[in-house]
Amino acid sequence: MNFAKYVKVFDIGLQNTFVYRWNFLLRSVFGIVPLIGAVFFWKAIFQSKGGGINGYDYSSMIFYLMITVFLENLITPTEDEWQIAAEIRDGKISSYLTKPMNYLGYRIVLFLSYRLLYIAVVLVPIIVLAWIFRDHLRMPEHAITWLAFALSTAMAAFLQFFIAYALAMIAFWVLEISTIVFILYSFEFFLSGHVFPLDIMPAWLQGFIHWSPFTYELFFPAQVFMERVQGADLAKGLAIEAGWLLLAWLSARVLWAKGVRKYQAVGG
Amino acid sequence: MSRYLEIYWLMIRNSLIREMNFKANFLLWIIVEFLWFVGQMVFLEVIYAQVNNVAGWSKWECVLLIGTHQITSQIFQAFFYVNLAELPELVRTGRLDLMLLLPVDAQFAVSTRKFGMDNIINVLVGVGVVVFCLAKLHVVPTALQIALYIVAIGFGVAIHYAVLFGLATAAFWIVRAQGLIYGYFNVFNIARIPESVFPYSLFKIIFTYFLPVIVVANVPAITLARSFQQPWTGLAQLAFGAVFIVAITRGFWRFALRRYSSASS
């Protein structure tokens, strides 16, 4: 296995993305607006309640929101699925098929280089936010939490990426995939814990949440960092996450293999 | 003026014909919107299982606010969204040249090329939601309230339009302005939050007068359903915000056009 060529791809990815640094910065600045909105909204809710909600108070809710914002910027693929789908639709993948390189590997390396640059740019506003909300942030008490957090975050990143990749494969069969992508987005938006922590949902939904793949895209790593899930539950959660990761990886591979067989290189 | 109306009617007809060729897509977009609505409802259910009001707003008042936001944003999306979202691409590829050569106002030309029929369905769903909430709240609005509501929605649509237009115009400087489109959705996220949640602060002033997203759905909702609250201050803020941002973005657009040098030609 020759890693040098993938290192080159990483480098190209960084250079290409660097052009969009202003794009990233603006995006993250605008991304702060809904966060501030959510903070005020939760403040009003806790004032009206006069107590905690399912183990959350105002402080831990802000902490939760901050972690998910950080995680989202760190691991959520932003344009990968659109780019992959466009390359398939426009017949551009023909040129990759002739290269001595695995397309999935190529895409993973690009994804990593995008994320690295993205988080580097976005770190400035995130640090400012963390300073503003510093009284509400609590570092984990146990050293092992850092390890579990790193592991669950890495798996969440690849889980999100493989789901996006598998989804983009639909472009082999359907010209316009944006509706399908947005349907998935709407599930992810609410079920990954982006809007609110999933454990404030009613008890009868918790079984579903426990097994749903979306839970492990954001909510679970956040819970790990907050030490709201520990011991046997932590191990079990990591196992479920690994299971979904494996499944997403397999579907990405299978869909690619099937798609390429059908591929006709339109306009390529 | 009548020439513009005639051109616009032709554009709408063309869009309808084009869209009817993709019926499945049309239905899927309606499903997407429906899912978003369900998600927001679940969130409110979870919250209001814990409390009976948030900053003085009851559950059905909040739903009415979401329905109002739905009406405003979907009217905007039906008429303008796709066109503005494609503007950065027109600039990047230099295809904007064609638009500039047309014997109509350039802003009109880039804003009105396509029309989204599926959004109109979503507007009707929004109207249904608002009516349902009024029934739940036992509120019967007067004719004046309904008239003011419609006027306020009109201002709201203008604000949506101007914000995205301003962001898309930034594409003259920033290659690939897709991130800016996300900016639009992010900023309007707070339009669905009751305004009384926000304490008097710089944040509130900015998002009331200069980037008026706090008032965009709140003012019409208050006008229609919270008759115990006087609507005039809100309506004045809304009108001021709308006129201000439309004028500013129009100026920004003309400034951008003056320095536009086309691409690859």
ipTM value, please give it. 0.86
Q: What mean pLDDT do residues A37-61 have?
A: 91
The two three-digit tokens of residue A8, written as one number: 């080159």
Q: Is B142 on the interface with A (CB under 8 A)?
A: no
Q: Calculate what percentage of chain A has a pLDDT beyond 90.
A: 44
Question: What predicted TM-score, i.e. pTM, was given to this entire model?
Answer: 0.87
The Cβ of residue B87 has, within 10 Å, a number of other Cβ atoms equal to 25
Q: Do A41 and B54 touch (CB under 8 A)?
A: yes
- Average pLDDT (B151-165) is 95
Residues of A within 8 A of B194 (CB-CB) are 44
Query: Any idea which of A38-47, A209-218, B105-114, B193-202 has the lowest mean pLDDT?
Result: B105-114
Contact call for A53 and B43, based on CB within 8 A? no
A190 contacts on B by Cβ (under 8 Å): 39, 42-43
Compare all CA atoms of chain A with the CA of B52 and give the residue at the minimum distance.
A48
From CA B202, how far away is CA A206, in angstroms rounded? 40
Residues 6+ apart with CB under 8 A from B196: A44, B55, B56, B57
pLDDT for B175 equals: 65
Question: Which residues from A are below 8 Å from B197, CB to CB?
Answer: 40-41, 43-44
Under 8 Å between Cβ of A53 and A46: yes
Please answer yes or no on whether A183 and B197 come within 8 Å at the CB atom: no
Nearest to A45 among B25, B47, B207 (CB): B47
pLDDT at A268 over 50: no
Residues with Cβ < 8 Å from A167, sequence gap 6 or more? A81, A177, A180, A181, A184
Which of A149, A79, A177, A33 lies closest to B198, judged by CA?
A: A33
Contact state of B186 with A49 under an 8 Å Cβ cutoff: no
Give B161 to chain A, closest Cα distance, Å: 17
CA-nearest residue to A191 within chain B is B39
Query: d(Cα B140, Cα B137) in Å, to the nearest integer?
Result: 9
- Cβ B183–A30 below 8 Å, yes or no? yes
Q: Which residues of B touch A195 (CB under 8 A)?
A: 39, 43
> Is B48 at the interface with chain A, CB within 8 A?
no
Contact B180 A23 (CB under 8 A): yes
At B14-51, the pLDDT tens digits run: 777 776 666 777 788 788 888 888 888 888 988 998 89
CA A212/CA A199 separation, integer angstroms = 13
Q: Tell me, what's the pLDDT at B177? A: 63
The pLDDT mean for chain A works out to 88
Distance of CA A136 to the CA centre of its chain: 24
Look at residue A63 and tell me whether its pLDDT is greater than 90: yes
